[in-house]
């Protein structure tokens, strides 16, 4: 479970980044992808927890340390998830001024800082829709699939290689 901390660190970095560049749809997408990963990690930890509980109940063993560890992991992941959701909502309900970069309320027409007219980009919606459509189970395993396909292709190639005609003389 060394990955948990990596996930949490990445999520925190992304959350910080989103704070700095709030209003940019790309950051929302990153946060969403990260949340999908965290959700997967939470599910895995729940399964692990369930397996431990089952094992200990069957054997009559007591190991509250392991159970506590799982609970703590889940709590940490849930906290990061919540933080991300908050960032996503903050980012989503703001519009960034293209002139000065200030964040304005989504309903604002003019920038509260420089007074410039605010423009809404359709990209925001597009990116979010795209991210929602990404199947979470494929995140992170893309490379493995590609490698497997590559190997398959190589095998096929060697199998179909024509045999040299044998000499009859």
Query: Judged by CB under 5 A, which of 10, 102, 108, 121 binds Zn ion?
Result: 102
116 binds Zn ion (CB under 5 A): yes
Q: Judging by beta carbons within 10 Å of its beta carbon (0-12, 13-18, 19+), is residue 10 exposed, middle or buried?
A: middle
114 binds Zn ion (CB under 5 A): yes
Piece in contact with Zn ion (CB under 5 A), picked from 41-49, 69-77, 85-93, 115-123:
115-123
113 binds Zn ion (CB under 5 A): yes
User: Is residue 90 a contact partner of residue 97, using CB atoms and an 8 Å limit?
Assistant: no
Query: Judged by CB under 5 A, which of 83, 90, 99, 121 binds Zn ion?
Result: 99
Query: Which tokens hold the place of 79?
Result: 């906290």
Using the minimum distance from each CB to Zn ion, give the nearer residue, 70 or 118. Answer: 118
112 binds Zn ion (CB under 5 A): no
Q: Which residues are near Zn ion by CB under 5 A? A: 97, 99-100, 102, 111, 113-114, 116
């Amino acid at each position: 479970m060394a990955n948990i901390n990596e996930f949490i660190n990445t999520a925190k970095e992304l959350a910080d980044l989103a704070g700095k560049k709030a209003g940019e749809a790309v950051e929302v997408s990153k946060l969403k992808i990260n949340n999908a990963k965290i959700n997967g990690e939470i599910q895995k930890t729940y399964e692990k927890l369930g397996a431990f509980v089952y094992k200990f109940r069957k054997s009559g063993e007591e190991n509250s340390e392991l159970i506590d560890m799982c609970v703590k992991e889940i709590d940490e992941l849930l906290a990061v998830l919540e933080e991300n959701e908050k960032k996503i909502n903050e980012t989503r309900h703001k519009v960034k001024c293209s002139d000065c970069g200030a964040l304005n309320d989504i309903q604002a027409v003019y920038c509260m800082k420089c007074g410039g007219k605010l423009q809404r980009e359709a990209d925001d919606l597009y990116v979010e829709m795209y991210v929602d459509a990404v199947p979470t189970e494929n995140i992170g395993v893309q490379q493995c699939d590609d490698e497997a396909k590559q190997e398959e292709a190589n095998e096929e190639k060697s199998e179909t290689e024509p045999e040299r005609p044998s000499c009859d003389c």
